[in-house]
Structure 1
Amino acid sequence: MKEKVHSDKAPQAIGPYSHAVKASGFVFTSGQIGVNPETGELQEGIANQTKQVFQNLHNVLEEAGSSLEKAVKLTVFLKDLQDFKEVNEIYATYFTGVFPARSAFQVAALPMNALVEIEVVAEV
């Protein structure tokens, strides 16, 4: 059985999707971009966007009864792979112990012309 997850502390979906879905003991988040949920505005620059992405993911995972510490897989989408190093430095501050498995890709474009989007699979 699957369950929809919605967090009022994350940006509203800009399409027909859930913030996350819980199923089989895991939570699968939709990709989050660096939009401030209070203003609806995309943060400026790769560092600010990455930090906002992690805050949004934290809020969605918390609503699902999980956390970034329970993450087992992340997928990172970057508009420019040149930002990989800076994103990695910020990324590393959100995890301790075993880092989750991860993939990272450069993509042609992201919603709202974002610089980074990240999705997570975590244990509940």
Structure 2
Amino acid sequence: MPDFHLFAKGPRPVAPFSHAVEADGWVILTGQMPTDPNAPDAPLPDGVQAQTVRVMENLAIILSELGLGLEHVVQCRAFLTEFERDYAAFNDTYQTFFPEDRRPARTTVGVTALAVGALVEIDCVAKRPG
């Protein structure tokens, strides 16, 4: 049976979901928004690069609560509301979170809108070691 995780330290959910669901060593993280877990009603960071940093930090918080880190991520999906404008800047920031030889598989999709007016959302799949 899967385990459903919702963490007090994690970002406040913007919809009815778990922060992560785990089954057989696989951990699926819900897409994270660029909201500040310590100030969920604060304005979002300006620009796709600052929002990407906040989203990756939020994913890292959820992984940490599970005893994992970004090094356990095997796949990410990224969603951008301004794909053509922001794709290069997004990549510049995103790639700093993973060593060049340990980057997860990734899909990036342009979308018309995201929750809370975000420019970027990222979800991921991680694998427990062993």
Higher mean C-alpha displacement, 37-46 vs 104-113 = 37-46
Q: Indicate the larger mover: 82-91 or 104-113.
A: 82-91
RMSD: 1.1
Tell me the residue number matched to 2:91.
88
1:4 correspondence with 2:7: no
- 1:38 and 2:38 correspond: yes
Match of 2:110 in 1: 106
- What are the ranges of 5 or more consecutive residues in structure 1 without an aligned counterpart? none
1:65 pairs with 67, 84, 89, which one?
67
Alignment of 1:22-33 (within 5 A): 22-33=22-33
State how far apart, in whole Å, the 2-side matches of 1:111 and 1:22 are: 24
Structure 1 runs (4+) deviating above 3 angstroms are none
1:56-99 per-position Cα deviation (integer Å, ceiling 9, x unaligned): 00000111222111111000000011211111111111111321
Amino acid in structure 1 at the alignment position of 2:18: S
How far, CA to CA, are the matches of 2:60 and 2:19 in structure 1? 12
User: Residue 47 of structure 1: SS of its match in structure 2?
Assistant: helix
Q: 1:26, CA displacement in angstroms? A: 1.1
Distance (Å, rounded) in 2 between the aligned partners of 1:59 and 1:7: 9
Per the alignment, residue 81 of structure 2 pairs with 79
User: Given the two structures, how large is their TM-score scaled by the length of structure 2?
Assistant: 0.90
Partner Cα separation in structure 1 for residue 46 and residue 4 of structure 2: 30
Unpaired runs of 5+ in structure 2?
none
Q: Distance in 1 between matches of 2:125 and 2:81?
A: 21
- Count of paired positions: 124
Q: Aligned-pair distance for 1:8?
A: 2.5
Q: TM-score, normalised by structure 1?
A: 0.94
Q: Give the equivalent residue in structure 2 for 1:118.
A: 122
Secondary structure of 1:98's partner?
coil
What is the deviation of 1:30? 0.4
- For residue 3 of structure 2, give the secondary structure of its aligned residue in structure 1: strand
